[in-house]
């Protein structure tokens, strides 16, 4: 059964599976666990006693293998919906023993082929046995190249701590905690060329690494978290529970659509009839069926899930945009469509901030004794369908100041709506509509206040500097620009999904494009740093909108190694004095959804070792007809300079 139906949750993370022992009666195995409350089983498909080297020649020639029954024992829907195949754990493809190594290769290919035949959604691969996994990765890569369906291969990786990274718990981690298990995963996926069907199943043990170390995994392709029963504590009533750090981790897994799998034997002696678990349970039975021995663990995982509650309204709105790459708007080259205007206009928080800024500007310019006699000239440049015109007039009403408004808009379709709005609201005597590009318009008078919403996800990436430079000539020398300044920011991120989505296009252009994306499955590896700042009005004689910035990032020492797939970009804008809006994570305006971050991908991801700084270079270049960005990494290794001369991505003037 689902862990809990939460409104607005469309993810697959509300299902919980169970790792099982081999059973050649698959229908019975499935019935036992599904009736016990679990949604799927992680089950061995081949008898663990099977070894290719032990098969005699006759049976080898016949091709008959000791699988768990035929494909007919379950329906195709049962196989695909309720079974994850578990590849035999004895397999060791990097063994010094040649017989074991060759037998492992035969068995691996046989088992994955059978799982693919059954149309399973996923197969769990055993953890690499030693530090070297080259041959194992080679065999898996061969399989991935030949797969003719969308079956995922989950590589089992223990979520290990290193000896100097112990936080709590016992020393039950696999391999003795001598290596960083992320290094194991990274080596394997590099050998498999970042294949999109290779994912991770994390073994969650009783000891956890540091929060920074854990954070790396949320940018990787983790599909499942296998929680071992011995990772659970016992509460005062004798029932299993998890430490606060484990609880926080599981909640994060839910938020990232990572499925939970319970593994191991029941290690808690539950007091029968002493809790709500025993309510409606008689003689250790539910509805006539025996209680699953791991049911209390499942119930606790379900409790953690249901404790999340419904998604906030903003997150429900953004759900469909998570990790979806979009090309940034071209506001000068293209006219926006009604649907785009509609989406932006719903962002009430943004317009509340603009109204606050305009109120403060009006109060600063016009003292109370002149409120009824002085009219402020306010120009909205890039008026769209009028939300800033409305915010300006509401600010005038709130402050008791008089306004004369010019609404300048180049999109003829939006101008039609503006005329209708002005007529509907009775603003004819206050608002003058100008159907023109702000850079070409000859204003009949100069403005006291210039208001615009030309900002992009990276601040200047929708050509706000160029547009406002063109409009500045009709702003009075002492006039106010809203916004008055804005700064872009970047930070390195792990973003395996985004990298694979870009890679799937198999061309250079997509790796040299900056995308707008609602970042979700990412790991933010270091705090943001400022990149480019623009101020308005700008009266310098040496005004130039080209920029260059060199940045150095250092990830926290307890993070361990990490993979940088690209850079997340944000902005923060000062509208007027202390009124700001932005999406830079540490200062982001709450509940505002007009802008998603921007993502600058790297053609070749960079592996960052602990203590090794990441040196990044970013350019904003301007030509006669376009503006573009170029970016590269120079340390710890040098990357190519991306988007040289704007060959792949630019914003048209």
Our measurement of the distance from residue 646's CA atom to the centroid of its chain's CA atoms, rounded to an integer in Å, reads 27
pLDDT at position 198, please? 98
Which one is catalytic: 160, 220, 453, 466? 453
Q: Which residue has the tokens 């505002």?
A: 592
pLDDT at position 287, please? 55
Q: In the chain, pLDDT over 70 holds for what percent of residues?
A: 90
DSSP string of 312-357, one letter each residue: PHHHHHHGGGBT--BPPP-TTTSPPPHHHHHHHHT-HHHHHHHHHH
Residue of higher predicted confidence among 639 and 344? 639
Distance, CA of 212 to CA of 230 (rounded, Å): 24
- Exposure string of 575-590, with b = 16+ CB inside 10 Å and e = fewer, is bbeebbbbbbeeeebe
Confidence label for 6 from pLDDT (cuts 50, 70 and 90): low
pLDDT at position 528, please? 98
Please say if the pLDDT value at position 169 is more than 80: no
CB 47 within 8 A of CB 66: yes
pLDDT at position 400, please? 97
Is 438 annotated to bind ligand?
yes
Residue 93 to residues 90, 106, 116: CA-CA distances in angstroms?
A: 10, 10, 20
Is 351 annotated to bind ligand?
yes
From-to residues of CATH 3.20.20.150 in the chain: 16-311
Distance, CA of 321 to CA of 204 (rounded, Å): 29
Confidence label for 269 from pLDDT (cuts 50, 70 and 90): low
pLDDT at position 64, please? 56
Is 486 annotated to bind ligand?
no
Please say if the pLDDT value at position 46 is more than 50: yes
pLDDT at position 559, please? 92
Q: What tokens were used for 143?
A: 């399989």
From-to residues of CATH 2.70.160.11 in the chain: 490-576+584-652
Q: What homologous superfamily does CATH list for 338-453?
A: Vaccinia Virus protein VP39 (3.40.50.150)
| 490-576+584-652 CATH | 2.70.160.11
CATH class of 16-311: alpha beta
Confidence label for 457 from pLDDT (cuts 50, 70 and 90): very high
Structure confidence by residue, pLDDT tens digits, 98-121: 999 999 999 999 999 999 999 999
Listed range (178-182, 445-449, 502-506) with the worst mean pLDDT: 178-182
pLDDT (average), residues 3-32: 80
pLDDT (average), residues 192-217: 96
Q: What tokens were used for 211?
A: 């929060």
SS3 605: strand
SS3 30: helix
Helix axis angle for 134-146 and 181-191, nearest 10°, is 50
Q: What tokens were used for 417?
A: 């709506």
Distance, CA of 198 to CA of 221 (rounded, Å): 8
Q: How many CB atoms lie within 10 A of CB 361?
A: 27
Which one is catalytic: 462, 466, 512, 630? 462
Q: In the chain, pLDDT over 90 holds for what percent of residues?
A: 77
Our measurement of the distance from residue 289's CA atom to the centroid of its chain's CA atoms, rounded to an integer in Å, reads 41
Is 406 annotated to bind ligand?
no
pLDDT at position 150, please? 93
From-to residues of CATH 3.40.50.150 in the chain: 338-453
Please say if the pLDDT value at position 593 is more than 50: yes
Q: Which sign, positive or negative, has the C-alpha torsion 447, 451, 454, 455?
A: positive
Confidence label for 54 from pLDDT (cuts 50, 70 and 90): confident
Q: Is 462 a catalytic residue?
A: yes
DSSP state of 401: -
């Amino acid at each position: 059964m689902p862990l809990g139906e939460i409104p607005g949750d469309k993810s697959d993370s509300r299902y919980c599976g169970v790792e099982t022992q081999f059973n050649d009666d698959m229908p019975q195995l499935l019935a036992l666990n599904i009736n016990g409350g679990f949604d799927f089983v992680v089950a061995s498909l081949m008898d663990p006693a099977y070894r290719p080297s032990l098969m005699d020649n006759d049976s080898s020639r016949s091709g008959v293998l000791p699988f768990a029954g035929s494909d007919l024992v379950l329906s195709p829907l049962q196989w695909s919906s309720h079974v994850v195949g578990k590849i035999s754990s004895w397999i060791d493809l990097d063994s010094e023993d040649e017989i074991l190594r060759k037998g492992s290769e035969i068995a691996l290919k046989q088992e994955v082929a059978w799982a693919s035949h059954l149309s399973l959604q996923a197969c769990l691969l055993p953890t690499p046995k030693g530090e070297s996994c080259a041959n194992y990765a080679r065999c898996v890569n061969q399989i991935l190249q030949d797969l003719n369906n969308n079956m995922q291969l989950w590589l089992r990786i223990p979520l290990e701590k290193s000896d100097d990274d112990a936080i709590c718990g016992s020393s039950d981690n696999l391999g003795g905690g001598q290596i960083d298990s992320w290094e194991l995963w990274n080596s394997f996926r590099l050998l498999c060329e970042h294949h999109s069907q290779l994912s991770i199943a994390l073994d969650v043990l009783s000891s956890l690494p540091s929060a920074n170390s854990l954070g790396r995994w949320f940018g990787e392709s983790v599909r499942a978290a296998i929680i071992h029963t011995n990772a659970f504590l016992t509460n005062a009533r004798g029932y299993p529970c998890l430490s606060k750090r484990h609880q926080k981790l599981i909640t994060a897994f839910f938020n990232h659509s990572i499925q939970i799998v319970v593994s191991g034997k029941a290690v808690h002696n539950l007091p029968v009839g002493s809790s709500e678990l025993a309510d409606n349970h008689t003689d250790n039975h539910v509805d006539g069926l025996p209680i699953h021995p791991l049911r209390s663990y499942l119930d606790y995982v379900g409790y953690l899930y249901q404790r999340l509650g419904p998604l906030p309204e903003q997150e429900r709105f953004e759900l469909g945009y998570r990790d979806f790459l979009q090309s940034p708007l071209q506001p000068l080259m293209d006219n926006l469509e009604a649907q785009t205007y509609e989406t932006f206009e719903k962002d009430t928080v943004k317009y509340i901030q603009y109204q606050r800024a305009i109120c403060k500007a009006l109060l600063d310019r016009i003292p109370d004794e002149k409120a009824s006699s002085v009219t402020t000239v306010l120009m909205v440049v890039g008026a769209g369908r009028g939300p800033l015109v409305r915010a300006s007039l509401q600010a005038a009403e709130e402050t008791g100041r008089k306004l004369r408004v010019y609404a300048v808009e180049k999109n003829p379709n939006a101008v039609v709506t503006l005329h209708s709005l002005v007529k509907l609201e009775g603003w004819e005597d206050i608002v003058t509509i100008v159907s023109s590009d702000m850079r070409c318009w000859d204003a009949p008078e100069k403005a006291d206040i210039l208001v615009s919403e030309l900002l992009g996800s990276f601040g200047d990436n929708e050509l706000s500097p160029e547009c406002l430079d063109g409009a500045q000539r009709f702003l009075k020398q002492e006039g106010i620009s809203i916004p008055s300044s804005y700064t872009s920011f970047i930070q390195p991120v792990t973003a395996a999904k985004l990298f694979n989505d870009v890679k799937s296009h198999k061309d250079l252009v997509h790796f040299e494009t900056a995308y707008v994306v609602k970042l979700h499955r990412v790991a933010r590896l270091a705090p943001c740093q400022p990149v480019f700042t623009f101020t308005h009005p700008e009266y310098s004689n040496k005004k130039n909108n080209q920029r260059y910035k060199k940045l150095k990032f250092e990830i926290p020492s307890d993070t361990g190694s990490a993979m940088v797939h690209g850079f997340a970009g944000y902005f923060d804008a000062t509208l007027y004095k202390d009124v700001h809006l932005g999406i830079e994570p540490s200062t982001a305006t709450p509940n505002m959804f007009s802008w998603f971050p921007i993502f600058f991908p790297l053609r070749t991801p960079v592996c960052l070792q602990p203590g090794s700084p990441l040196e990044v270079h970013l350019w904003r270049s301007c030509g006669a007809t376009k503006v573009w960005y170029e970016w590269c990494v120079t340390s710890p290794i040098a990357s190519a300079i991306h988007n040289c001369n704007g060959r792949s991505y630019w914003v048209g003037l």
